[in-house]
Amino acid sequence: MGKIGYARVSTTDQDLSLQLAALTAAGCGVIRSEKITGSTVTGRAELRTVLDFIGNGDTLVVTRIDRLARSLGDLQDIVRELKAKGASLVATEQPIDTGTAAGKAFLDMLGVFAEFETNLRRERQMEGIAKAKAAGVYKGGKTRIAADEVRRLAGEGMGPSAIARQLGIGRASVYRLLSPGKAISQDDRRPPDVPS
């Protein structure tokens, strides 16, 4: 019967130290951590390791449930997997202990609110994009490139390096947008730091 800690932050520039300290103080003998989005469980190798390793009588400890999952479905799947293995879930900053009926009910409520918050954030983002488009100032993500403009410039004889410079994008993006059959000159194969 051991305590296994799991810590997560969404981006590489975020710090795990507060979570790690809290998990250590909670008595976790093993702590796994990762820097990856919590919007899905896909690709979260450290979480998968914990869930594969945890056994009967063990407790998975997190600081808050949003460190574990951002969607109610994922959270419920994790809790079901823990229960099937005879393990429980505890959060150090929230009154969650799936070993008790009250703790399980509170977990379900927090899961609903975490998913609701994620959905609200997504709606606000979409509203902001719609307003920016209406005002004519939306530029989109860095990967949104006018393929027609790239092809037009290439059709005028401009090479990929020059197109990339003119449009302020990477040469790899230009190559992706050009038709596969288009011949690329040797001059356009130079590294980006070598001027044409």
Active-site residues, by number, are 10
Rounded CA gap, 103 and 54, in Å? 20
For 33, list phi and psi in degrees, rounded to 5: -145, 155
Residues 6+ apart with CB under 8 A from 5: 20, 23, 24, 26, 28, 30, 31, 32, 60, 61, 62
Half-sphere exposure of 134 (CA within 13 A, CB side): 6
DSSP 17: H
CA angle 55, 57, 60 (to 5 degrees): 70
For 130, list phi and psi in degrees, rounded to 5: -60, -40
DSSP 46: H
Query: Roughly what angle, to the nearest 10 degrees, separates helices 101-134 and 72-84?
Result: 150
The answer to whether the beta carbons of residues 50 and 6 sit under 8 Å apart is yes
